[in-house]
C-alpha cells in the first residue's frame, strides 16, 4: 500500500510541476502589471516602473523563458514563490490565506458529506414516498439556485434573527471581532462568526451527495446480488443494507474526494460574501491585479489539493471495493 501511495504521489508531483509550469507561462505572457502602474498619479515613467519591477524580480524586459527559470530557481533553492507588483511576499500571505480558507470550509465539508449521504440512503429507501419527494425536490431546487443568492438569503435570515432577538447573536461577515479577549469570549465570538457561513454552505451543499447516493443506491436495490441475498433469507431491508449500500458507496466515495479540492480552491463566492479573505478570493484578485506570481501560486495550491483528493479517492475506493485492492 505504501509503495502504491509513493508511486501515485510521484506521478502527481510530475503532473503538478507540469500544470504549474504551464500556468506560469500563461500568466507571465498574459498578465502585464505595468499597465496598472500607468494609472497611478503621478503617472510613473516606464523606466521607473521597469526599475521597481526589476527589484521585485518581475523584470518586464526579460522573456518568458528567462523569468520562468528565475522563478523556478527561487522556489527550488529558497522556496521563494516571488513577490507581488506591490512588493508583498507571496510566501508570507499564502499561509494566512490557506488557513482562512481551510477554517471556513472544513466544518461544512464534513457536515455536507455526512448529511448528504445519510439523506441519500434515507430517500432511496423511501423511493417515491413523501419524504423522498421532499428531500430530492429540495436538492434539485438547491442545485439551480446560484450560490450568491443562496448565501445572501441565509445572511438575511441571520440578520432577521438578530433583529428579532434585539441583540447581535450572529455575525454575517468577517472572521473575528478585533481586540476580543482570549478564552471564552474569543470562542463565543468565533462560533458567532462561524455559524452563518457554515450553515449556509452546508444546507446548500449536500444536494449533490444526496442525489448521487440516492441514485447509486437505487441502481443497486434491484441488483441480482441483492436478490441472491434475499433468496438466502435476508429481508429486503437487510439485503439492501448489507449488500447494496456498500456497493453503491463506491462511486460516491470517489466523487467525494474530487469535490473537496473544488470547494477549497473554488470557494470564491463564499469567501467574498462572508468576507473571509481566503485563497479563492486571492486567486481572482491576482488576475485583476495582473499578479503573475500569486496567480501561479494559487494554481499550484489547487493542483496539490487536487492530487491529494485523487489519492484520497483511490484510497477510499480500495477501502470499499476489493476488486481494486492493490498488491
Partner 1 sequence: MSTNTSQTPAERLRDAGLYAPGDAVLSVRDLNVRFNSENGVVHAVRGVDFDLMPGKTLGIVGESGSGKSVTSMAIMGLLPETADITGSVRFKGKELLGLSDKAMCKHRGSDIAMVFQDPLSSLTPVYTVGHQIIEALTVHNPTMSKQAKEARAIELLRMVGIPSPKDRLKAFPHEFSGGMRQRVMIAIAIANDPRVLIADEPTTALDVTIQAQVLEVLHTAQEETGAAVVMITHDLGVVAGMADDIMVMYAGKPVETGTVEDIYYNPRMPYTLGLLGAVPRVDTATRQSLVPIEGTPPNLALPVTGCSFAARCPMVSDACLHGEPELFPVPGVESQTLGHKAACIKANELTGDADAHKIFHAPPKPVSKFDGVARAERAKVLELKDVKKHFPLLKGALIKRRIGTVKAVDGLSFDIREGECVSIVGESGCGKTTTLLEIMEFHPDQVGEVIIGGVSNKVATDHKTKMAMRKEMQMVFQDPTGALDPRFTVYEVLAEPLENLGMPKAAIKKRIMELMKLVGLQPDHVNRFPNQFSGGQRQRIGIARALAVNPKLVVLDEPVSALDVSVQAGVINLLDKLRAELGLSYLMVAHDLSVVRHISDRVAVMYLGKIVETGDVDDVFDNPRHPYTRALLSAIPVPDPTLERTRERIILQGDLPSPLDAPKGCNFATRCPVFAALPAAKQEKCLNLEPPLASEKEGTQDFACFFPDGEIDADMLVVHA
Total residues belonging to the chain: 327
Check residue 59 and give left, alpha or beta (phi > 0: left; psi -120 to 50: alpha): beta
One symbol per residue from 242 to 271: x for binding partner 1 (CB under 8 A), - otherwise; what is it?
A: xx--xx--x---------------------
Q: Does 311 bind partner 1 (CB under 8 A)?
A: no
Q: CB 321 → partner 1: shortest distance, Å?
A: 6
Taken in order 228, 231, 233, 239, the sign of the CA dihedral is positive
Task: Name which of 78 and 232 has its Cβ closer to partner 1.
Answer: 232
Using CB under 8 A as the binding rule, whether residue 234 contacts partner 1 is answered as: yes
CB of 226 vs partner 1, minimal distance in Å: 8
> Whole-number minimum distance, CB 2 to partner 1, in Å?
15
CA distance 78 to 99: 22
Give Rg (Cα) of the chain. Answer: 25
23 Cβ contact partners less than 8 Å away, ≥ 6 residues apart: 295, 296, 299, 300
Q: How far is the CB of 312 from partner 1 (least distance, A)?
A: 18
Residue (30 or 222) nearer to partner 1, CB: 222
Task: State the Cα–Cα distance between residues 284 and 290, nearest whole angstrom.
Answer: 10
Q: Does 9 bind partner 1 (CB under 8 A)?
A: no
Our finding on whether 228 is near partner 1 (CB under 8 A) is: yes
**Any contact of residue 320 with partner 1 (CB under 8 A)?**
yes
Q: What is the DSSP string of 25-43?
A: HHHHHH--HHHHHTTSSSP
CB 186 → partner 1: shortest distance, Å? 47
| Candidate ranges 110-118, 161-169, 178-186, 228-236; the one touching partner 1 (CB under 8 A) | 228-236
The residue from 229, 253, 292, 313 that contacts partner 1 (CB under 8 A) is 229
Q: How far is the CB of 322 from partner 1 (least distance, A)?
A: 5
Span near partner 1 by CB under 8 A; candidates 21-29, 84-92, 182-190, 235-243: 235-243
> Cell 441472491 belongs to which residue?
228
Q: Is there a contact between 111 and 119 (Cβ–Cβ < 8 Å)?
A: no
Residues 15/303, Cβ–Cβ less than 8 Å: yes
Minimal distance in Å, beta carbon 182 to partner 1? 49
C-alpha cell at 158: 441571520
For position 13 contacting partner 1 by CB under 8 A, the verdict is: no
Taking a C-beta distance cutoff of 8 angstroms, is the pair 245, 217 a contact? yes
Q: Which is nearer to partner 1, 8 or 103 (CB)?
A: 8
User: Per CB under 8 A, which of residues 79..108 are in contact with partner 1?
Assistant: none
Nearer to partner 1, 161 or 234 (CB): 234
- The three-class DSSP label of residue 83 is strand
Of the pair 88, 320, the CB lying nearest partner 1 is at 320
In the chain, the DSSP E strands lie at none
C-alpha cell at 214: 440516492
| Nearest distance from C-beta of residue 236 to partner 1, angstroms | 5
Please give the Cα distance from 51 to 196 (Å, whole number).
46
Query: What is the contact surface with partner 1 in residues (CB under 8 A)?
Result: 7, 11, 223-225, 227-236, 242-243, 246-247, 250, 320-323
Amino acid at each position: 500500500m505504501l509503495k502504491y501511495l509513493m508511486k501515485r504521489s510521484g506521478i502527481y508531483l510530475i503532473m503538478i510541476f507540469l500544470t504549474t509550469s504551464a500556468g506560469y507561462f500563461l500568466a507571465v505572457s498574459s498578465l502585464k502589471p505595468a499597465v496598472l502602474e500607468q494609472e497611478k498619479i503621478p503617472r510613473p515613467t516606464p523606466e521607473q516602473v521597469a526599475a521597481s519591477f526589476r527589484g521585485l524580480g518581475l523584470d518586464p524586459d526579460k522573456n518568458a523563458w528567462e523569468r520562468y527559470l528565475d522563478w523556478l530557481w527561487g522556489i527550488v533553492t529558497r522556496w521563494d514563490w516571488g513577490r507581488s507588483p506591490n512588493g508583498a511576499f507571496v510566501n508570507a500571505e499564502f499561509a494566512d490565506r490557506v488557513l482562512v480558507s481551510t477554517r471556513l470550509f472544513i466544518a461544512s465539508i464534513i457536515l455536507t458529506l455526512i448529511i448528504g449521504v445519510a439523506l441519500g440512503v434515507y430517500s432511496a429507501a423511501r423511493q417515491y414516498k413523501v419524504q423522498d419527494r421532499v428531500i430530492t425536490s429540495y436538492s434539485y431546487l438547491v442545485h439551480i439556485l446560484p450560490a450568491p443568492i443562496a448565501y445572501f438569503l441565509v445572511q438575511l435570515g441571520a440578520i432577521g434573527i438578530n433583529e428579532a432577538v434585539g441583540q447581535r447573536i450572529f455575525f454575517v461577515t468577517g472572521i473575528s471581532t478585533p481586540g476580543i479577549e482570549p478564552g471564552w469570549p474569543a470562542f463565543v465570538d468565533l462560533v458567532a462568526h462561524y455559524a452563518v457561513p457554515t450553515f449556509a454552505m452546508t444546507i446548500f451543499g449536500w444536494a449533490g451527495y444526496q442525489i448521487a447516493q440516492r441514485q447509486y443506491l437505487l441502481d443497486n436495490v434491484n441488483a441480482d446480488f441483492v436478490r441472491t441475498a434475499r433468496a438466502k433469507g435476508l429481508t429486503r431491508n437487510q439485503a439492501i443494507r448489507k449488500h447494496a449500500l456498500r456497493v453503491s458507496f463506491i462511486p460516491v466515495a470517489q466523487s467525494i474526494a474530487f469535490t473537496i479540492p473544488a470547494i477549497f480552491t473554488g470557494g470564491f463566492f463564499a469567501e467574498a460574501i462572508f468576507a473571509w479573505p481566503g485563497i479563492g478570493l486571492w486567486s481572482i484578485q491576482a488576475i485583476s491585479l495582473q499578479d503573475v506570481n500569486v496567480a501561479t501560486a494559487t494554481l499550484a495550491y489547487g493542483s496539490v489539493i487536487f492530487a491529494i483528493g485523487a489519492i484520497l479517492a483511490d484510497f477510499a475506493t480500495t477501502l470499499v471495493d476489493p476488486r481494486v485492492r492493490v498488491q
